[in-house]
């Protein structure tokens, strides 16, 4: 078949086919000396399809050419198994991206559903929720140093092949809550709300939580903590665990930093 037909069948452009010929990757079986027409055979369609798939998953042309020059059943299995590992890694990455998108959609919808009623306080029972905790922060850390320590959290994610992009939550420890020290996060964490593609190394315990929300810039959470802790006291409840902070609205959903919407959940009994 002529090059135009071959290009149509394989989805490879004529220009790319000429390039493949120039590097010896996929050449026509015949070139008419009279008119310069280039002809390919039907069996070459399979070769072209394999090249396209291997290029799609990122295999370099040099490696594809090396394989095609040394084709054998054994080499085919070795090459395909190696590329399958690459595909599995890409699938894991895409699954994490999908879970990240679902989580941001869910949190944003939650924020939209409560944004006109942020003065109300909820009490809810939760099942245990998997968390990915970052490194423990030093005792001297302060919420105003948050971006510095967030970089360390992101480095931790990079080192463990974890896709960033989830909103990072922070934990105020039980002991700091009792001391009303709300400016010392003990850890940052990821809490994907769907899928299960993210690894976890801890969990938010099952139990009763008091939930409060407030608009404001980062590091302006003291008034919200006071309000929620006063509610806990008046309701005859007792703080028995950590507080978990997440932003339902952040810089990805609003330009106005005063419209960031913080949600805190405090474990009580």
Residue 247 CB contacts under 8 Å (≥ 6 apart), including other chains: 107, 167, 260, 261, 262, 263
H or E segment at 188? strand 187-190
**Residues of the domain holding 151:** 93-268
pLDDT in tens, the chain (269 residues): 999 999 999 999 999 999 999 999 999 999 998 998 999 999 999 999 999 999 999 999 999 999 999 999 999 999 999 999 999 999 999 999 999 999 999 999 999 999 999 999 999 999 999 999 999 998 877 777 767 788 888 998 998 888 888 889 999 999 999 999 998 899 999 998 776 788 889 999 999 999 999 999 988 899 999 999 999 999 999 999 999 999 999 999 999 999 999 999 999 99
In a domain, 134, yes or no: yes
pLDDT given for residue 163 in this prediction: 86
Per the CB < 8 A criterion, the answer to whether 174 and 229 are in contact is: no
CATH number, domain of 168, equals 3.20.80.10
Domain boundary among 71, 105, 126: 71
In the chain, the number of structural domains is 2
Pair 181, 244 in one domain: yes
pLDDT given for residue 219 in this prediction: 81
Pair 45, 103 in one domain: no
**Centroid of chain to Cα 163:** 4
- For the four alpha carbons of 127, 132, 135 and 137, in that order, the dihedral sign comes to negative
In a domain, 234, yes or no: yes
Pair 121, 252 in one domain: yes
In a domain, 97, yes or no: yes
Pair 172, 248 in one domain: yes
* Backbone phi and psi for residue 203, each to the nearest 5 degrees, phi listed first: -155, 155
pLDDT given for residue 166 in this prediction: 87
Domain boundary among 71, 101, 129: 71
What is the distance between the alpha carbons of residues 189 and 136, in angstroms, rounded to a whole number?
10
CATH number, domain of 48, equals 1.10.1660.10
In a domain, 80, yes or no: no
Q: Whose CA is closest to 221, among 213, 210, 209?
A: 213
Pair 220, 123 in one domain: yes
Q: How far is CA 109 from CA 59, 66, 129, 248, in A?
A: 40, 51, 19, 8
H or E segment at 172? strand 169-172
pLDDT given for residue 195 in this prediction: 65
Domain boundary among 25, 41, 71: 71
In a domain, 78, yes or no: no
């Amino acid at each position: 078949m002529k090059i135009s037909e071959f290009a149509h069948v394989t989805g490879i452009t004529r220009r790319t086919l000429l390039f493949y010929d120039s590097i010896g990757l996929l050449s026509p079986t015949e070139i008419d000396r009279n008119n310069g027409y280039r002809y390919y055979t039907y069996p070459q369609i399979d070769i072209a399809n394999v090249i396209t798939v291997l290029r799609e998953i990122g295999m370099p042309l040099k490696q594809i050419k090396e394989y095609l020059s040394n084709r054998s059943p054994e080499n085919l299995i070795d090459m395909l198994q190696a590329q399958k590992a690459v595909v599995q890694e890409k699938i894991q990455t895409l699954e994490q991206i999908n879970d990240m998108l679902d989580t941001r959609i869910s949190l944003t919808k939650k924020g939209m559903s409560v944004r006109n009623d942020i003065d109300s306080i909820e009490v809810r029972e939760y099942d245990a929720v998997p968390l990915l905790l970052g490194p423990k922060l030093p005792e001297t850390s302060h919420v105003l140093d948050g971006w510095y320590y967030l970089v360390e959290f992101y480095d931790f994610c990079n080192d463990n092949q974890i896709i960033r992009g989830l909103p990072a939550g922070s934990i105020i420890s039980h002991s700091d809550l009792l001391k009303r020290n709300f400016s010392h996060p003990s850890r940052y964490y990821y809490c994907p709300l769907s899928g299960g593609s993210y690894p976890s190394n801890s969990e938010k315990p099952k139990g009763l939580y008091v939930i409060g929300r407030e608009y404001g810039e980062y590091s302006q959470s003291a008034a919200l903590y006071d309000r929620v802790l006063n509610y806990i006291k008046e309701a005859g409840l007792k703080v028995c665990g950590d507080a978990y902070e997440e932003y339902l609205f952040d810089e990805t959903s609003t330009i106005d930093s005063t419209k960031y919407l913080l949600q805190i959940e405090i474990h009580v009994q």
